[in-house]
Amino acid sequence: MFDHAASVRPTPMIDPFGRGIDYLRVSVTDRCDFRCVYCMAENMTFLPKKDLLTLEELDRLCSAFIDKGVKKLRLTGGEPLVRKDVMTLFRSLSRHLETGALDELTVTTNGSQLAKYSTELAALGVKRINVSLDTLNPTLFRTITRWGDLNDVLGGIDAALAAGIHVKINAVALKGVNEAEIEDLIVWAHGKGMDISFIEVMPLGDIEPSRLDQYLPLSMVRARLMDRWTLAESDHRTGGPARYVTVNETGGRIGFITPMTHNFCESCNRVRVTCTGTLFMCLGQEDAADLRSPLRASEANDLIYAAIDRAIARKPKGHDFIIDRRTKRPSVTRHMSMTGG
C-alpha cells in the first residue's frame, strides 16, 4: 500500500452549517459472524466480493480523508475483524498515527475475534475499541445474535483489556428483551473499568420483529437508573454522538445515544463510507456519493478530493429518524450492517 500523489492541495471538510468533518467511519465488510436481530435479517444476501473495495483501495480512500483533515478513523463492518487479511489494513493505516496525521485509529467489533487480534491491534496503536454487547445471559445472547457464543466475546474483551486497550461497551436497549438487565450490565462494565453506552434502536432496514416492539426510550432508562444511582453530568466526549454521565457510586461513565428521542445532529462531525466506497453524509438519510468510481479512475487523488467536496457540500443539518406506526416501514431501507455501525 502506498500514498498517491495529488496535483491539488486537499482542503479541510466544512459542511454547509459550518461543522468541521474530522471523524470518518469506514465499513470494511458487510459480512458478520452474527445475525443480531436489530441489525440483520437472518438470511442476509451479502454483496459480491467484486463490488467491495480492496484493502489497498480502502487504505487509499482513508488516507485521502486524512489528507482532508480526518483525525479520528473508526473501522466497522458488518464485523470488521472477519474480513480476510484485515490486519494488513490496520498495519498500513497505523503509519498515519506515527506521523501524527491521525489522532486515533479505532474499531467497533462484536468481540468474537478479539482474542486473536488484540495483541497486534494494541501494538499498532489502537488504544480504544467499542464492543457491541447487549446481554450477559448466554441464552439471551444466542437469541439476540442468533449465531454468537457469549464466552467468545467475554474472552475477547478480557484479551483486549489485558493488551492495554480501553474497551467501551455498546448495548442496544431493547424493550422486553434486555430491559431488565441494564443495571447488571452497568455494574459488570464498571467493575472491569469499562464505560458503557446505551443506544436506542434505529429504524434501518426491514427486519423482524418490528422496531415498534423493540423501541425503548433512553429517557425512561435514565429515569430508572436515577432511582438507584447518582448520575452526574459529564463533559466527556469521544468524538461520537454519546452524551455521558458519571455514576458517583461506581466512578464509571454511562453514555446515552438517542437518535430517536433527541437527535445529536447539531454537533455532527462524522461521515461514513461503506465497503463499496459509497459515502453517506448522514446515517439517517439516503443521500450518498460514489467514491469508488473516482478512486478507480485515476492514480492521483484529485478526483477523490473533488467528489468528497461535492458530497460534504450536501451534508444535511440532521436526520429524519422516525418509527412509522402507520406503515411500520423503516425510515431508511438499508441495513445497519451495510452502512457500518
Query: For the stretch 143-163, what's the b/e string if a residue is b when 16 or more beta carbons lie within 10 angstroms of its beta carbon?
Result: ebbeebebebbbebbbbbbeb
Q: What does the block give as the cell for 154? A: 467475554
* Residue 78 labelled as part of a binding site: yes
What are the E-state strand segments in the chain?
A: 23-27, 72-76, 104-109, 128-132, 166-173, 195-200, 231-233, 243-247, 253-257, 270-273, 278-280, 288-290
Phi, psi angles (nearest 5°) of residue 236: -60, 130
Of 105, 132, 138, which is closest to residue 40 (Cα–Cα)?
A: 132
* Residue 62 labelled as part of a binding site: no
* Residue 265 labelled as part of a binding site: yes
* Residue 36 labelled as part of a binding site: yes
* Residue 168 labelled as part of a binding site: yes
* Residue 19 labelled as part of a binding site: no
* Residue 32 labelled as part of a binding site: yes
Q: Where are the alpha helices (DSSP H) in 1-113?
A: 55-67, 86-99
* Residue 245 labelled as part of a binding site: no
Q: How far is it, in rounded angstroms, from Cα 172 to Cα 168?
A: 13
* Residue 38 labelled as part of a binding site: yes
Q: How far is it, in rounded angstroms, from Cα 118 to Cα 132?
A: 16
* Residue 60 labelled as part of a binding site: no
Q: How far is it, in rounded angstroms, from Cα 156 to Cα 158?
A: 5
Q: How many CB atoms lie within 10 A of CB 303?
A: 17
Q: Which long-range contacts (CB under 8 A, 24 or more apart) does 40-48 make?
A: 40/205, 40/207, 40/335, 40/336, 40/337, 41/205, 41/206, 41/207, 41/208, 41/335, 42/146, 44/335, 44/337, 47/275, 47/276
Burial class from Cβ neighbours inside 10 Å (0-12, 13-18, 19+) for residue 81 reads buried
Q: How far is it, in rounded angstroms, from Cα 76 to Cα 328?
A: 28
* Residue 23 labelled as part of a binding site: no
CA 124 to chain centre: 20
Residue numbers belonging to the annotated binding site for GTP: 25, 74, 108, 168, 270-272
Residue numbers belonging to the annotated binding site for S-adenosyl-L-methionine: 38, 78, 132, 202
Residue numbers belonging to the annotated binding site for [4Fe-4S] cluster: 32, 36, 39, 265, 268, 282
Residue numbers belonging to the annotated binding site: 25, 32, 36, 38-39, 74, 78, 108, 132, 168, 202, 265, 268, 270-272, 282
